[in-house]
Amino acid sequence: MTLTVGGAAMVAGLSLDGTDGFASRNRELARLIEPSVGLAKECDAVIDLKCATSPKPEIAVWGDSYARHLVDGIIASKPDVRLVQLTKNNCGPFLDLAPILPRLGRGWSEGCAQHNADVRRFLLANRSIRYVVLSSQLSQYLNEKTVLLDGRREVPADIKTLIDDSRSTLAWLEANGFKTVWVAPPPQNGRDTGLCVARARLLGQPIERCELSLKDVRADNKDVLQVIADIGDDYPVVSFMDYLCDEDFCKVEDKGVALFEDYGHFSAGGSRQMGLSFNFYRTFVDAAEQEVLSGVMRPAGALDTSTL
């Protein structure tokens, strides 16, 4: 089940450090692409209640930076939320899989596997946690030749391996009494949308020039969308596609607020805007409470995964 919530020289020299004569405007442009770091930048790869808003969190956010960028929006939608952030950059929320990224080395992959093992122990030790929000870019598990399985063995990277471990992870969580929801990454096509919007604002150009072709989004993310659709067959999934995209293009602003930091992450302001527009907390909790297999709680306007 998937829910939808509901001048070339000038461009090349764009600077956002406030030293090029456009200080006040550049500070505003810098805010457009301010990263959404969650509770704190220092919370990356930290599994501890010091990265929580309460000593008894109710909701855990687990995954890579695509989970992290949801935290600002959840807090915006419920300022008193009892939340713990369990995120590690590039490291998706999986029982047995870690990406192998040549630029980071094998040791990092083993560290990712250990991080996720530590997350599972943390969840079991903190039984105030009822809901687990999971998210990942996913492409890092598909674009390289191999992935690390069980923290030890390198196996070929493919869609089936990723789908199987996604399902195993969600099944483990539910077997241990947690309510889950998977949040799909926002639409993207590899272009730095955040920088495009900042340049357009600086040069007084229409923001529409930065919108993403839906055809390109679907082509560039075909495998990721297939994984999301498969997860959505049996587990709650929230997608932003139906709201951000029409039949031809995906927008990069919501109610005048620029949404993206870069090629796919919500900026700090974008996350807060989306969180307020769709009440992230209530949307994620309500989705996690659905009985997917019963088919009786499928909300109106749910994204038809067969079209992805």
Q: For residue 243, what are its two tokens?
A: 């709201």
Domain that holds residue 110: 2-307
Which distant-in-sequence residues (6+ apart) come within 8 Å of 100 by Cβ? 106, 109, 144, 145, 146, 147, 148, 154
Distant-in-sequence contacts of 168-173, Cβ < 8 A, 24+ apart:
168/95, 168/96, 169/93, 169/94, 169/95, 169/134, 170/134, 170/231, 170/235, 172/95, 172/120, 173/123, 173/132
Q: How confident is the model at residue 32 (pLDDT cuts 50, 70, 90)?
A: confident
| pLDDT beyond 80 at 294 | no
Distant-in-sequence contacts of 294-298, Cβ < 8 A, 24+ apart:
297/1, 298/1
pTM over 0.85: yes
What CATH number should be reported for the domain holding residue 157? 3.40.50.1110
> How many whole angstroms separate alpha carbon 96 and alpha carbon 168?
9
> How many whole angstroms separate alpha carbon 69 and alpha carbon 75?
11
| Number of domains within the chain | 1
**Cβ count near 21 (within 10 Å):** 8
C-alpha gyration radius of the chain: 19
Per-residue model confidence as pLDDT tens digits over 184-237: 999 999 899 999 999 998 888 999 999 999 999 999 999 999 999 999 999 999
| pLDDT beyond 50 at 114 | yes
Model pLDDT, residue 128: 98
- How would you label 268-303 residue by residue, b for 16+ Cβ within 10 Å and e otherwise? bbbbbbbbebbbbbebbbbbbebebeeeeeeeeebb
> How many whole angstroms separate alpha carbon 228 and alpha carbon 245?
17
Model pLDDT, residue 25: 62
| pLDDT beyond 90 at 49 | yes
Q: What is the DSSP letter of 95?
A: S
Higher pLDDT, 27 or 93: 93
| pLDDT beyond 90 at 263 | yes
- For residue 175, CA distances in Å to 12, 57, 89, 141 come to 53, 20, 27, 25
Give which of 267, 205, 189 is closest to 8, Cα–Cα.
Answer: 205
Helices (H) and strands (E) in the chain, counts: 12, 13
> How many whole angstroms separate alpha carbon 98 and alpha carbon 34?
28
